[in-house]
Amino acid sequence: MKRSQINSLIDDAKSFFRQMHFALPPWAFWGPEQWKGHGESEVVDHQLGWDLTDYGGGDFWKKGLILFTIRNGSLERAPAKPYAEKIMIVNEGQVCPMHYHWTKVEDIINRGGGNLTITLHGSEEDGSFSTAPLRVSVDGFEREVAPGGEVILTPGESITLVRGMYHAFTAQPDSGRVLVGEVSSVNDDHDDNRFFDPQARFPEIDEDTAPNHLLVGDYKNWI
């Protein structure tokens, strides 16, 4: 992805967050120079902040995701914080591809906008899809979903995704873009994503211009 496109996508995200009355922390708006001297912080150590990806496909609007990690803990460091929180934007026609987590348990929450369509599969030990139906909790009520079945979350609804449960999501056609929240156990996007079709989690960046805001992957090179 070109850095100029990343800058534009973050500007668009900031506008949508304002439209949805979702406030980000002050450091979300820092430029690279304002980060100088802040390398020793929970923000940097735990990879909080702006994150986006095209999953290596080169077409963000077809397969991609932009998100902001608000908080993220660590079980190894004191004080122990065993939870994480993200806010994401999912667009119509844009897919977050099929994956599961070995460690993380998460609630995905439709915070507003359109409807969120989530496609689900169970998994076998070898990573293949299970043929068994799934039992999932939607807003605290359990329901059965067939392999490859969909759950549609309207604004305010949420679903719990357990370890090993494959999931992919997109905005339901003609419903509008969706503000999506995630509340989970500690998040590790480097080592805890198992994609059904292997692909990159973080983008390759063409530095055609300077960053307006740092991504989580930029910290080590800029601070």
| Domain membership of residue 214 as a residue range | 3-222
Q: What is the pTM of this model?
A: 0.95
3-state secondary structure of 18: helix
- For the chain, 223 residues long, give each residue's pLDDT as a single digit of tens: 999 999 999 999 999 999 999 999 999 999 999 999 998 899 999 999 999 999 999 999 999 999 999 999 986 765 678 999 999 999 999 999 999 999 999 999 999 999 999 999 999 999 999 999 999 999 999 999 999 999 999 999 999 999 999 999 999 999 999 999 999 999 999 999 999 999 999 999 999 999 999 999 999 989 8
For residue range 33-44, what is the model confidence (pLDDT) as tens digits? Answer: 999 999 889 999
Taking the C-alpha atoms of residue 22 and residue 85, their distance in angstroms, rounded to an integer, is: 14
What residue type is 45 in one-letter code? D
> Where would I find the beta strands (DSSP E) of 60-157?
65-72, 83-90, 96-100, 106-113, 116-121, 134-138, 141-145, 150-153
With a CB cutoff of 8 Å and minimum separation 6, the contacts of 88 are 65, 66, 67, 68, 179, 180, 181, 182
For residue range 146-156, what is the model confidence (pLDDT) as tens digits? Answer: 999 999 999 99
Find the Cα–Cα–Cα–Cα dihedral 67, 71, 77, 82, rounded to 10°.
-100
Q: What is the CATH number of the domain that holds 50?
A: 2.60.120.10
What residue type is 108 in one-letter code? I
DSSP 219: H
Q: For 74-100, give the DSSP string.
A: -SSSSSP--EEEEEEEE-BT-BEEEEE
How many distinct structural domains can be found in the chain?
Answer: 1
Taking the C-alpha atoms of residue 179 and residue 189, their distance in angstroms, rounded to an integer, is: 20
